[in-house]
Chain A
Amino acid sequence: MTVSPLAAWSDRLAALAPVLDAAEVPFRSQLTVRVSDPDAIAAMGSTLGVGFPSAACTFTSGTGPCGDVEVLWLGPDEFLVTAPPDQQVTIEEVLRGALGTAWGSVVDTSAQRTTVVLQGPRVRDVLAHGCSVDLHPASAPRGTCVQTLLARTGIVLQVTGDDRVTVLVRSSFAGYLAAWLVDACTEYLAVP
């Protein structure tokens, strides 16, 4: 049986409600795409049904033949495609087909990171304990995707709603990040 990186933390993360609705979304399909040719990027986007983000530090999302797919900007020639579990082989083949003979690579990196969804009115306050990026809605609106440090751990942070963020963290750091989250929420929880 496969155990997700934060399986042991699900109860303690759930106990953060109502300050923070924190839950792992395990085993998401993730593919790292390295490509700089604009035609290949457009072809990959139309195949997925989701256009690749053109602006730095943003992500796009939509529904296509491979289901609900998100495409995250990681660098000027680097993207991360995320999708529901068990889609990685299909998406890899589809994207490789769209890439054709252009220079680039499509690599399954699903095991590299796990996904944590954080939601609640205090989500920005909690993250501010360990993340220096300005997450105010004026500077980080919905659709923002930044790679930064949260409590010295490298993360990819997606702003998916008014009080909702998705954090992608390396599997081996996930336990540490969960422990830090529980600690950072302490001051907002009601005293028993």
Chain B
Amino acid sequence: MQLIPCPWCGPREEAEFHYGGQAHVAYPEDPSALTDEEWARYVFFRENPSGPFAERWSHNAGCRRWFNAVRDTRTHDLLAVYRVGEPMPEVTA
């Protein structure tokens, strides 16, 4: 089974983790000012790149903390993990 390196607990099996979708999706500054289309774009529209993708993961069975990971969607390799609030590191796929 693939090991995912939790920034707190170290490498653990993938079964301990929960996937949380794309990272760095900022909440709108003034939600009430958004049109329906803009709101739908914020709620439903996500990137779907072929290559490195910044995602949120939760270490459900361990420290139960959310963190961010850069995963190559072509190979399922985790290129980097970093804690919430830290900037996305430079990665080379």
Contacts and interface: CB of A to CB of B under 8 A. Distances in A.
A148 interface: yes
Contacts of B61: 147-149, 154
Interface residues of B, number: 13
A13 interface: no
B64 interface: yes
Nearest to A150: B61
Interface string A136-173: 00000000001111001010000000000000000000
B63 A74 contact: yes
Contact of A149 (B15, B63, B64): B15
A179 to B, nearest CB: 20
Nearest to A153: B61
Interface stretch (B5-13, B29-37, B38-46, B68-76): B5-13
A17 interface: no
Contact of A76 (B1, B15, B16, B65): B65
A133 B12 CA distance: 7
Contacts, number: 36
B28 interface: no
Given A56-B8, A76-B8, A132-B1, A148 B63 contact: no
Per DSSP, chain B at the interface is: loop
A75 interface: yes
A75 B7 CA distance: 11
Interface residues of A, number: 14
Contact of B13 (A56, A57, A75, A149): A149
Given A146-B62, A147-B61, A154-B61, A75 B8 contact: yes
Contacts of B65: 75-76
28 contacts: A56-B8, A56-B63, A57-B8, A57-B10, A74-B63, A75-B8, A75-B63, A75-B65, A76-B8, A76-B63, A132-B1, A132-B12, A132-B13, A133-B12, A146-B9, A146-B62, A147-B61, A147-B62, A147-B63, A148-B12, A148-B16, A148-B61, A148-B62, A149-B13, A149-B16, A149-B61, A152-B15, A154-B61
Given A57-B8, A74-B63, A147-B62, 12 more contacts: A75-B63, A75-B64, A78-B64, A132-B1, A146-B9, A146-B62, A148-B16, A148-B61, A148-B62, A149-B15, A149-B16, A152-B15
